């Protein structure tokens, strides 16, 4: 008789990765999500070190099913981080061998919901192909939180990932996103590596039309988040709302 397959749980993480302060876990994750995380012993993650740090926080609230040293933690390959895993070139099926043997597996990113603005979609796709049930758990997703708080169009929106690092290419891309937002009404959301946040913000203020509305959400779920939305003309008269050490989500709209 074939052993029943395990399930793939998409386990959200707090949004405070890399931040000096941490949000209390019960403030950002429901009790059911914490309990499920504590019950798992097999993991697929971005980084084993940060996965163990996450499990340590979970274990402070609820006993883990296995000690940290006995947790089976598998990292996604480095090329998945660098090139993305949304194209079918990477075969994640071998990572789900434990599920085919009847073990539940947790998929974990360093912050927020795995496979949304983070790696993991290849694992989810492989689970569907193998007949492994996919179960998303409730928790913070920075893109949706930022959109909801932006005052921009939440009925028609797109998350476009990162913008170019080169200043000229970045300004060109921002103007393209602005034109799309103004013409269609579709809100354009994007992110940046925190240490480049100030440069991105400067480019937004310098490149866009004064009437275009820009929203920013930084430090989501932390004690003192910065969430604001205003026309570019107003932003040019205000202090820079982002720092080089706290993640932020940016949005352009009308």
Helix (H, G, I), strand (E, B) or coil at 150: helix
For the cut 70, the answer to whether the pLDDT of residue 81 exceeds it is no
| Residue 72: Cβ within 10 Å count | 13
Q: Locate tokens 């941490």: which residue? A: 22
> Does the pLDDT at position 39 exceed 70?
yes
Average pLDDT of the segment spanning 193-216: 97
Q: What is the DSSP letter of 69?
A: G
Quote the pTM value.
0.92
The answer for residues whose C-beta is within 8 angstroms of residue 97's C-beta and 6 or more apart is none
Q: Indicate whether 217 pLDDT > 60.
A: yes
Please tell me the predicted confidence (pLDDT) of residue 117: 87
Residue 132 main-chain phi, psi, to 5 deg: -90, 125
DSSP 8-state symbol, 96: G
Mean pLDDT, residues 188-203: 96
Give residue 221's pLDDT band: very low, low, confident or very high (50, 70, 90): very high
Residue 84 has pLDDT above 70, yes or no: no
| pLDDT above 90 for 159 | yes
Residue ranges with strand state E in the chain = 7-11, 42-45, 72-75, 105-108, 133-136, 157-162, 187-191, 213-218, 226-231, 248-253
Domain ranges of the chain: 7-136, 142-253
Phi, psi of 111 (to 5 degrees): -155, 140
**Composition of the chain by helix, strand, coil, percent to 5:** 40, 20, 40
Mean pLDDT of 67-82: 87
pLDDT, position 72: 97
Confidence of residue 4 (pLDDT cuts 50, 70, 90): confident
The whole-number pLDDT of residue 87 equals: 66
Architecture of domain 142-253: 2-Layer Sandwich (3.30)
Specify the DSSP class assigned to residue 247: -
Euclidean distance between CA atoms 108 and 104, whole angstroms: 13
Select from 232, 160, 152 the least CA-distant residue to 187.
Answer: 152
Cα separation, 166 vs 100, in Å, equals: 45
Q: Calculate mean pLDDT across residues 130-135.
A: 97
Query: Looking only at Cα atoms, what is the longest distance across the chain?
Result: 70
pLDDT number for residue 118: 87
Q: What is the mean pLDDT of residues 137-152?
A: 97
Number of residues assigned to the chain: 254
Flag whether pLDDT at 137 surpasses 60.
yes
Gyration radius of the chain's alpha carbons = 20
Q: What is the mean pLDDT of the chain?
A: 94
Task: Indicate the CATH number of 7-136 among 3.40.50.300, 3.40.1010.10, 2.30.30.40, 3.40.50.720.
Answer: 3.40.1010.10
Could you give the CA distance from residue 9 to residue 31 in angstroms, rounded to a whole number?
15
Distance CA 141, CA 33 (A): 14
**215 phi and psi angles, rounded to 5 deg:** -115, 150
CA dihedral sign, ordered 157, 27, 225, 113 = negative
Contact between residue 231 and residue 211 where contact means Cβ atoms under 8 Å apart: yes
Q: How far is 254 from 249, CA to CA, in rounded Å?
A: 17
Does the pLDDT of residue 88 top 70, yes or no?
no
Average pLDDT over residues 42-55: 96
The yes-or-no verdict on residue 171 having pLDDT over 80 is: yes
């Amino acid at each position: 008789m074939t052993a029943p397959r395990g399930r793939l749980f998409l386990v959200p993480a707090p949004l405070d990765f890399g931040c000096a302060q941490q949000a209390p876990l019960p403030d950002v994750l429901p009790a059911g999500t914490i309990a499920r995380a504590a019950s798992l012993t097999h993991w697929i993650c971005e980084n084993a070190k940060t996965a163990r740090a996450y499990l340590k926080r979970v274990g402070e609230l609820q006993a883990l099913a296995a000690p940290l040293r006995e947790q089976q933690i598998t990292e996604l390959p480095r090329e998945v981080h660098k090139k993305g895993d949304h194209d079918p070139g990477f075969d994640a099926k071998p990572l789900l061998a434990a599920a085919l043997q009847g073990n539940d597996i947790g998929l974990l990113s360093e912050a927020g919901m795995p496979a949304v603005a983070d790696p993991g979609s290849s694992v989810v796709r492989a689970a569907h192909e193998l007949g492994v049930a996919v179960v998303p758990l409730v928790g913070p997703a920075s893109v949706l939180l930022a959109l909801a708080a932006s005052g921009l169009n939440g009925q028609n929106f797109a998350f476009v990932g990162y913008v170019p690092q080169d200043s000229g290419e970045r300004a060109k891309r921002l103007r393209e996103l602005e034109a799309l937002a103004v013409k269609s009404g579709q809100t354009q959301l994007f992110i940046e590596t925190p240490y480049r946040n100030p440069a991105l913000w400067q480019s937004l203020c310098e490149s866009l039309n004064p009437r275009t509305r820009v929203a920013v959400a930084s430090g989501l779920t932390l004690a003192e988040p910065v969430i604001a939305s205003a026309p570019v003309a107003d932003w040019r008269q205000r202090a820079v709302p982002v720092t080089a050490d706290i993640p932020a989500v940016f949005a352009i709209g009308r």
